[in-house]
Chain A
Amino acid sequence: MFVKEGEYLFLEGDMATSMLIVKSGMLVGSSRQTHQRHPQNFGPGSIIGEFSILESRPREYTVRAAEDSEVIYVEQSALQNELEHKPGWFKATLSFLASHCHAAEENGKKGKIVQSLPPFLFLFSKHLESSGSDYIPTALLQKKMLVLNNTDPADTDKLLQILEGIGLLKVEGDTVRVSSLQIVPMLYNALRYRALNKQVSPDILSITDQLVLTAFVKAVRENGISIRSGRATIDMELFKQQAKKTMFGSALTIRTLSPLLQNGMLQSDPTYNEGVALESIGSISGDFDKILDLLELNRIFPLLDKKLV
């Protein structure tokens, strides 16, 4: 079949049960679905629509002739006829290759979203730091993602949906807003630390540390303890009682408390030193907002793998 330059062969989304082979000339395909930035050229020997003939899938591209061309259409009936005369393994092989290709495509799409997370967090955290505001216009974020990582705006949108789903941010009209200015930079730094040092970031806490800090936060809130200059101080007995409720029955011990005293997340009065007994500690204090941010980071961090990968 001959097609004239500029003539359209089919449109993206058209139902189809055939494929075509370019015998001579040049066809050009464009797709809105795949957010292709550049049209794809199909020269002599190229085939278009293998999934239409194999699986009756709609056309992936809108295809027109970039120059006078000759094409050969192959109908699904020809494939079925050929497969009828082939051993069973041949059909199974063809199906396997098609499904493998789909799987690679799906993995590629997922991979793109996963891979766009670090540049997204980098750009967003730098914007929050430099502007001091708690939001960024979505269009600006999309543009910067395109410039920095060539991330398609549709992929940035998908990533935003996922991150909104885990409570990291909120998409409000044309802006992306965060409830805490610290979480996005903390999350970026934790991921960066893991990638560059091949180690878990010190900000990613053990379950026990998280339980102790949760007990501290609850003790402060439920007992109406005032926060002075960002710091909250709680009586040790009160802390122990709260820990019993919050830590699923397990008691607060010096062993569970000491990692947080050693890394400075919590401070004791008198000052902690090795060998000190829990009974000798009168009170525990800590930077309340920092602890809340750290707990939020530790809530979100494991969700990233679950929701993204």
Chain B
Amino acid sequence: MNGNSRQQVIPPTHSRVKAGFVVYSPDDENRALIILDEGELVAVDKRDGNREIKFRMHPGDIVGVASLFEREPFRYTLEASEDSSVTILTEECLESELKNIPVWLLAILRSLSVKTRQLKESARTTSVENSLKSLAEYCARLESGVKYPIDTVVREFNWLTRIPAATIKGDFKALARRNFIGFTKDGDNLFMQVHNATLLQIYSDYLHAYDEGIPWEPLRLSTAQKRILVHLTTLEAGVEMEAPEWISLLNERELPIDVAQWITLQDIGCFVQSTGEKFRVDQAKVEYYLTAIRYDSNLRGAV
């Protein structure tokens, strides 16, 4: 202490160096901030036995900030290309200076370096939050019944999403537990096989609805609506009728349906408008719902 509440500041070192002098080498154990006051320094990449000048420093330029604050090693050798004058701040010198600044200013410095580190880190990692959903979406695009070498599939999916291989393997096991995929071994090689790609698409949609907090229609259908869907699959393809005709047809066949229920089935895409006021059944959509209902326990993971 020097008589006030401030702590002693360790002053930086000012040096005059001759042309060719090595001011900093990546082999140096001590990290430092280097400020060029006069002259010129060159940053040289000497890795792999090469000598490549990466940039030139001019008076006022500073290096080593990322090294000190973000723990990012400075990879180049700094050499004086002419007689120069430099200021060197060691880690201790910087720390002593930082002890004499207000807490909020220290918080700014910390926040900037932490933010930068986090941004760099997130650029290297996956942005996927639900890796199982992502894998189900991917597998839904593989051909059902075809054997794929697991190694290749893991590598491709890792390349697509940056999800780590260990996580992918764990998720494959989760899909296998739900009987969506199977594994076979041929010699030393392990293969995976999608049983039903549509089911994986349904599973991905189910997980997505859950993640987004939106209701997932197939599991909200009433027993009466399910019976209607089953009946719709028995109808001839291409039947087109107006809404009142559909309602009376279903009622005639002892499948009670009112206008509200009709609108619900239309909203979830089981009926699509074709010509004028007429509607036809979207068989693919109906099949999708029925498959989801049939494999309800697999989707919920209760198998």
* Residues of A participating in the B interface, judged by any CB pair closer than 8 Å: 19, 21, 45, 47, 50, 53-54, 72, 74, 78-79, 82, 86-90, 92-94, 96-98, 100-101, 104-105, 107-108, 111-112, 115, 118-119, 122-123, 126, 130, 144, 147-151, 192, 195-196
Distance of A169 Cα from B208 Cα, bound (Å): 28
| 17 A-B pairs in the complex with CB atoms less than 8 angstroms apart | A47-B111, A50-B111, A82-B101, A82-B102, A87-B12, A90-B97, A93-B62, A93-B69, A97-B109, A104-B116, A105-B119, A108-B123, A112-B123, A115-B127, A122-B141, A148-B128, A151-B127
Interface string of B86-119 (1 = CB under 8 A from A): 0101000000010001101101110111011001
| Residue of A whose beta carbon sits closest to that of B140 | A126
B156 within 8 A of partner (CB): yes
B187 within 8 A of partner (CB): no
What is the minimal beta-carbon distance from A309 to any residue of chain B, in angstroms? 13
Q: A72-B104, A148-B128 are in contact. List 4 more A-B contacts (CB 8 A).
A: A86-B97, A148-B138, A149-B127, A150-B126
What is the minimal beta-carbon distance from B122 to any residue of chain A, in angstroms? 6
Contact A144 B62 (CB under 8 A): no
In the complex, which residues of chain B have a beta carbon less than 8 angstroms from the beta carbon of A97?
A: 65, 69, 109, 112-113, 116
Distance of A8 Cα from B216 Cα, bound (Å): 34
In the complex, which residues of chain A have a beta carbon less than 8 angstroms from the beta carbon of B236?
A: none
| Residue of A whose beta carbon sits closest to that of B141 | A126
B193 within 8 A of partner (CB): no
What is the minimal beta-carbon distance from A278 to any residue of chain B, in angstroms? 41
Contact B115 A149 (CB under 8 A): no
Contact of A98 (CB < 8 Å), options: B87, B112, B161 = B112
In the complex, which residues of chain B have a beta carbon less than 8 angstroms from the beta carbon of A53?
A: 108
Looking at A47, A126, A147, A150, the one whose CB has the most chain B CB atoms below 10 A away is A147
B162 within 8 A of partner (CB): yes
Contact B127 A112 (CB under 8 A): yes
Contact A93 B65 (CB under 8 A): yes
Q: A119-B161, A195-B159 are in contact. Are A93 and B134 (CB under 8 A)?
A: no
What is the minimal beta-carbon distance from A296 to any residue of chain B, in angstroms? 23
Distance of A86 Cα from B9 Cα, bound (Å): 12
| Residue of B whose beta carbon sits closest to that of A112 | B127
Contact B105 A79 (CB under 8 A): yes
In the complex, which residues of chain B have a beta carbon less than 8 angstroms from the beta carbon of A192?
A: 156, 159
| Residue of A whose beta carbon sits closest to that of B97 | A90
Contact of A104 (CB < 8 Å), options: B120, B138, B208 = B120
In the complex, which residues of chain B have a beta carbon less than 8 angstroms from the beta carbon of A115?
A: 127, 162
Contact B160 A149 (CB under 8 A): yes
What is the minimal beta-carbon distance from A83 to any residue of chain B, in angstroms? 9
| Residue of A whose beta carbon sits closest to that of B69 | A97
Contact A148 B159 (CB under 8 A): no
Contact of A147 (CB < 8 Å), options: B89, B120, B162, B208 = B208
Contact A149 B128 (CB under 8 A): yes
In the complex, which residues of chain A have a beta carbon less than 8 angstroms from the beta carbon of B60?
A: 92
